[in-house]
């Protein structure tokens, strides 16, 4: 367990920790010279014997396990070093708020107390230091003042102790409380989230190599684990291995959430490439987020598109705050907002952020990440805002998953990253009676049913409007009926529909089963005459030329051509100009072979290969583009849908 200190400068935080652990957390020469905490300091207290330890020392008690060692993060109290203080607070769930009995609450006391409240610290221990410098009556007045302010700031429960690091009064009672708090924390069930750690220090130890330290935010890590290192100075995450580790200041085999660790890493990485706020992950990280949706809790009035400073774990960055439901939020109100970062951050859902005004140097409020990839359009649609407000009430991944599946399929890798879950952990949340995994997507059966009905409706309309076409290509059907849906799911569903005879696949054309025609005996004879004309011409023919050759009325033959097209005998490449499907398959094979050899198809090459005139050759190429077999890129063609025009 880790406890972070908070309080005004020179109120005795460092001396209190020294009395508890025996460790002076002011490790920097400048800190020792000035008697002022500048950067984060760390100390450990084995709860069985209270022996001292430090980041790079083992406990004197070999029997003390990391779970029975309490870690402290000593943060600066001076306002100039607030960013360092926030880096310490951002990684802890428990805090010890320190106030000097002889001075009482001071400006930074109020600031730190507000920060602890905004970040929703799980437990708060309040310590009145320097109790030997005041009378009993003065001490009681301080306690009454603290209770009033804590209640005013919204804290519902806390424990208050009066101590003197100089005389030792109250130290034993505080230790007993901290031990009980640690025991209670250890008894709580551990989350299933994957390992995640924000680096706050990186250094090289002679004979050991690179060592990084930080507080484990979630999951477990053990010696030999392979992790992903994400640094702002690296173009992409790299894979490293844990060679050895110290947990809570003691050499250990493994560590878990809410413990302080020092990891000895092996891999192709230099210390100079690391800085505070870089990350270690158990699962491969996705690209950092440039924009996220958050639920915002305002402590001060906030305006739309206000420039803010965002503190996230051990990082801080500037951003713009776009309100989604109104133009401003008053103090004490909550709302939905979008944070647009000046530089991207590695962030996951449910992460807490502190929002500050960089000019006024005050805390504006706190935010919780609820969406890592907001849409670029339609972000203020009423149905989306309703869904986001529902999402804001949920904290457990299984509940968030169920809500997400009501609206759309969920990409498994994305959801695992957003909530730091392994695919195995996510699979435990799947309801096989209501949900289905399609490759990398998880879908609800009702979603698949709605999508299937929509595809059938779209095909029905297509058959009505394009009665001279047998059907439509797979890719074009996806663009026409389900463009906003993942192609992987659509392709899978189309194949299922074909297998269940809800769709028919005729030479690559998809159509409804009822979209079938048969020729009468008389029509069979006429089709044979028409087919012979196509064989003589060896090229597409106009309706007027076919009518003249077969001695038929042009209008009647045009109606008959629609029926032939529905049966798949001929296809209109332009209005009133047809080609037999057998010829189209032959031409398509020529195109496939040429593109396989040359990676593209020029118009001149197509004319040479087919022996057709320029005008009809262009008409054929544009037809293939229109139905999705090829696509035009600059002055040549590329293959688009391999499955079309096959016997």
Here the CATH number for the domain that contains residue 630 is 1.10.10.10
The helix (run of H) or strand (run of E) holding residue 443 is: strand 441-444
Which whole number is the average pLDDT over 168-174? 95
Which whole number is the average pLDDT over 557-564? 89
Q: What is the mean pLDDT of the chain?
A: 90
Kindly indicate the confidence band of residue 385, based on its pLDDT and cuts at 50, 70 and 90: very high
Strand ranges, E, within 469-605:
504-506, 509-511, 541-542, 570-574, 577-580, 601-602
Q: Which of 48-62, 388-402, 486-500 has the lowest mean pLDDT?
A: 48-62
Q: Which of 32-36, 216-220, 585-589 has the lowest mean pLDDT?
A: 32-36
Domain for residue 552, yes or no?
yes
Final residue of a structural domain among 281, 297, 312:
281
Domain for residue 420, yes or no?
no
Coil, strand or helix: which one is 153?
coil
pLDDT at 517: 65
The pLDDT of residue 30 is above 70: no
Kindly indicate the confidence band of residue 57, based on its pLDDT and cuts at 50, 70 and 90: very low
207 and 183 assigned to the same domain: no
Share of the chain above pLDDT 70, in %: 94
149 and 40 assigned to the same domain: yes
Kindly indicate the confidence band of residue 565, based on its pLDDT and cuts at 50, 70 and 90: confident
629 and 547 assigned to the same domain: yes
Domain for residue 177, yes or no?
yes
297 and 257 assigned to the same domain: no
Q: Which of 120-124, 414-418, 621-625 has the lowest mean pLDDT?
A: 120-124
Domain count, the chain: 4
- Other CB atoms closer than 10 Å to residue 438's CB: what's the count? 18
- Other CB atoms closer than 10 Å to residue 147's CB: what's the count? 14
pLDDT at 76: 82
Measured between alpha carbons, how far is 573 from 527 in angstroms, rounded to an integer?
Answer: 19
Which residue, among 311, 87, 66, 116, has the nearest Cα to 214 in the 3D structure? 87
* Token pair 């799980």: residue: 122
318 and 203 assigned to the same domain: no
Domain for residue 559, yes or no?
yes
pLDDT at 434: 92
81 and 178 assigned to the same domain: yes
Measured between alpha carbons, how far is 445 from 409 in angstroms, rounded to an integer?
Answer: 10
| pLDDT tens by residue, 272-283 | 999 999 999 999
158 and 211 assigned to the same domain: no
Which whole number is the average pLDDT over 342-371? 95
pLDDT at 81: 62
* CATH number, position 87: 3.40.50.300
Measured between alpha carbons, how far is 339 from 318 in angstroms, rounded to an integer?
Answer: 10
* CATH number, position 262: 2.40.30.10
CB-based burial of residue 267 (10 Å sphere; 0-12 exposed, 13-18 middle, 19+ buried)?
middle
Which whole number is the average pLDDT over 392-414? 94
233 and 122 assigned to the same domain: no
252 and 387 assigned to the same domain: no
207 and 117 assigned to the same domain: no
The pLDDT of residue 438 is above 50: yes
Which whole number is the average pLDDT over 561-573? 87
pLDDT at 414: 96
Tell which phi-psi region holds residue 594, choosing left (phi > 0), alpha (psi between -120 and 50) or beta.
Answer: alpha
* Token pair 């009395």: residue: 19
Coil, strand or helix: which one is 131?
helix
Final residue of a structural domain among 281, 300, 327:
281
Final residue of a structural domain among 143, 161, 187:
187
269 and 360 assigned to the same domain: no
352 and 317 assigned to the same domain: yes
* pTM > 0.85: yes or no: no
Instruction: Give the domain range for residue 604.
Output: 521-639
Kindly indicate the confidence band of residue 55, based on its pLDDT and cuts at 50, 70 and 90: very low
Kindly indicate the confidence band of residue 53, based on its pLDDT and cuts at 50, 70 and 90: very low
- Structure letter (DSSP) for residue 100: E
pLDDT at 185: 85
pLDDT at 78: 63
pLDDT at 35: 56
| pLDDT tens by residue, 172-211 | 999 999 999 998 888 877 667 899 999 999 999 998 999 9
Domain for residue 626, yes or no?
yes
Asked if 426 and 412 touch (Cβ cutoff 8 Å), the reply is yes
Domain for residue 310, yes or no?
yes
The pLDDT of residue 299 is above 80: yes
């Amino acid at each position: 367990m880790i406890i972070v200190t908070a309080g005004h400068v020179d109120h005795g935080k460092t001396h209190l920790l020294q009395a508890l652990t025996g460790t002076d957390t002011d490790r920097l020469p400048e800190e020792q010279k000035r008697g002022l905490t500048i950067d984060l300091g760390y100390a450990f207290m084995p709860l069985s014997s209270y022996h001292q330890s430090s980041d790079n020392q083992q406990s004197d008690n070999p029997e003390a396990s990391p779970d029975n060692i309490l870690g402290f993060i000593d943060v600066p109290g001076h306002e100039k070093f607030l960013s360092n203080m926030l880096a310490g607070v951002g990684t802890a769930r428990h805090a010890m708020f320190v106030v000097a009995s002889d001075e009482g609450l001071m400006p930074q006391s109020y600031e730190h107390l507000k920060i602890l409240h905004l970040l929703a610290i799980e437990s708060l221990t309040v310590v009145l230091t320097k109790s030997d410098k005041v009378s009993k009556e003065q001490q009681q007045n301080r306690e009454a003042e603290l209770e009033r302010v804590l209640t005013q700031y919204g804290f519902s429960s806390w424990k208050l102790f009066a101590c003197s690091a100089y005389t030792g009064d109250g130290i034993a009672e505080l230790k007993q409380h901290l031990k009980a708090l640690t025991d209670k924390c250890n008894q709580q069930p551990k989350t299933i989230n994957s390992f995640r750690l924000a680096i706050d220090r990186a250094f090289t130890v002679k004979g050991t190599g690179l060592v990084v330290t930080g507080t484990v935010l979630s999951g477990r890590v053990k010696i030999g684990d392979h992790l992903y290192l994400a640094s702002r100075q690296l173009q992409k995450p790299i894979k490293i291995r844990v060679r050895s580790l110290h947990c809570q200041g003691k050499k250990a085999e493994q560590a878990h959430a809410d413990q302080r660790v020092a990891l000895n890493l092996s891999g192709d990485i230099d210390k100079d490439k690391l800085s505070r706020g870089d990350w270690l992950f158990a699962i491969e990280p996705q690209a950092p987020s440039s924009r996220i949706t958050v639920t915002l809790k305002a402590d001060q009035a906030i305006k739309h598109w206000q420039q803010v400073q965002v503190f996230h774990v051990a990082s801080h960055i500037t951003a713009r705050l776009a309100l989604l439901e109104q133009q401003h939020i008053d103090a004490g109100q909550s709302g939905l907002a979008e944070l647009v970062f000046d530089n991207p951050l590695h962030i996951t859902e449910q992460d807490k952020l502190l929002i500050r005004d960089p000019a006024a140097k005050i805390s504006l409020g706190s935010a919780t990440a609820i969406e890592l990839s907001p849409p670029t359009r339609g972000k203020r649609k009423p149905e989306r805002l309703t869904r986001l407000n529902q999402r804001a009430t949920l904290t457990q991944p299984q509940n968030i998953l169920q809500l997400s599946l009501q609206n759309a399929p969920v990409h498994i890798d994305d959801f695992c990253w957003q909530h730091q879950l392994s695919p195995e952990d996510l699979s435990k949340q799947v309801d096989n009676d209501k949900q289905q995994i399609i490759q990398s997507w998880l879908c609800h059966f009702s979603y698949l049913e709605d999508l299937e009905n929509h595809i059938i409706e779209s095909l029905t309309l297509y058959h009505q409007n394009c009665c001279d076409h047998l059907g439509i290509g797979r890719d074009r059907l996806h663009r026409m009926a389900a463009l906003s849906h993942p192609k992987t799911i659509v392709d899978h569903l189309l194949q299922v529909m074909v297998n269940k005879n809800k769709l028919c696949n005729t030479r690559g054309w998809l159509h409804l089963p009822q979209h079938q025609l048969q020729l009468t005996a008389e029509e069979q004879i006429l089709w044979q005459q028409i087919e012979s004309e196509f064989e003589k011409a060896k090229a597409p023919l106009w309706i007027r030329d076919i009518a003249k050759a077969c001695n038929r009325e042009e209008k009647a033959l045009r109606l008959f051509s629609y029926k032939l097209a529905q049966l798949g005998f001929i296809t209109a490449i332009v209005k009133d100009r047809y080609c037999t499907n057998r010829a189209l398959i032959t031409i398509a094979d020529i195109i496939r072979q040429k593109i396989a050899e040359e990676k593209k198809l020029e118009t001149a090459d197509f004319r040479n290969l087919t022996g057709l005139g320029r005008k009809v050759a262009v008409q054929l190429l544009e037809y293939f583009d229109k139905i999705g077999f090829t696509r035009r890129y600059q002055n040549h063609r590329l293959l688009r849908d391999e499955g079309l025009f096959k016997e």
